[in-house]
Amino acid sequence: MSAASRPAGADGATDAIAARIAALNVHPVKGCGAIAVSAATAEVTGLRALRVRDREWMVVDAAGRFLTQREHPRLARVVASVDDASLRLAAPNAAPLDVPLAPSQGPSSEVVVWRSHVLGIDQGDAAAAWFSDYLGKRARLVRFDPAKPRRCNPDYVGTTGAHTMFADGYPVLVVGQASLDDLNARLAAKGSPALPMNRFRPNVVVAGLPPYDEDHLDTIESGGVTLKLVKPCVRCQVTTTDQATARVGIEPLATLGMYRRDDALAGVTFGMNAIVVAGAGRPLEAGAAATVTYRF
């Protein structure tokens, strides 16, 4: 099978695939706003751009357990930017918070993200006060401590040794642009407004594929970086949160539930989780051509 082609159909025809990397995003703080970038370095733990890594920071409660938009939709309105020395966080009715990019010197302690017990480096009392005031509950900001790698589920990544930071479970999330276009067509047929891609918080958006073909991809290669797609992404109520206003609705889960139910995973899926299997340290670029291979 040609790496740049879709598998042959029953009549022997093969459809050429002209895929490309349409967009790249990093989310420095888990649950907070994304930064769209034109290029990002692929690392084993996920994408790195502008001197920050995807989900490198996380907000935790007083017990050290992660906080996300699931219970605090207002996190969507925490906007991130980066200058030479700091990760700057801004939110409505709050003065900006500058978090140093230099290696953290604070204490490291156990924090919890889903079922993973990992280490987080506390980012200080000023950051804790900022998030506590904004969320209306005690909270602290921690930075991932690489002294204790967080391994991905071997049921899906095998013996690759793949690991990640504070992402839900895998280093890279891939969504096909055509899949969102198809979803929005279904929403339009119901009289519902179109949704932007940021509802799904992907790292890599791929254009040029038929709708939902990312479900069946084995790999995506671009610029010497190879991503292996390992597990469908099960969607939760975060997708129903408007990332600009933090208002929570019912879409897209109501519509996805009509045709994207995965009984094996006990949920609806949209997009694919991926790991970096080749080219770590090399850049991915928005607009660059991509070569795809299929699992069948």
Domain ranges of the chain: 19-294
C-alpha dihedral sign at 113, 277, 26, 99: positive
Cα 98–Cα 27–Cα 76 angle in degrees, nearest 5: 80
Instruction: Quote the CA–CA distance of 279 and 182 in Å, as a whole number.
Output: 32
b/e burial code for range 91-117 (CB count within 10 A of at least 16 → b): beeeeebebebeebebebeebbbeebe
pTM over 0.85: yes
Instruction: Quote the CA–CA distance of 166 and 232 in Å, as a whole number.
Output: 18
Residue-by-residue pLDDT tens, the chain, 296 positions: 333 445 544 433 335 689 999 999 999 999 999 999 999 999 999 999 999 999 999 999 999 999 999 999 999 999 999 999 999 999 999 999 999 999 988 899 999 999 999 999 999 999 999 999 999 999 999 999 999 999 999 999 999 999 999 999 999 999 999 999 999 999 999 999 999 999 999 999 999 999 999 999 999 999 999 999 999 999 999 999 999 999 999 999 999 999 999 999 999 999 999 999 999 999 999 999 999 999 98
DSSP string, 25-42: EE-SBTTS--EEESEEEE
Task: For the chain, state the CA radius of gyration.
Answer: 19
SS3 of residue 151 by DSSP: strand
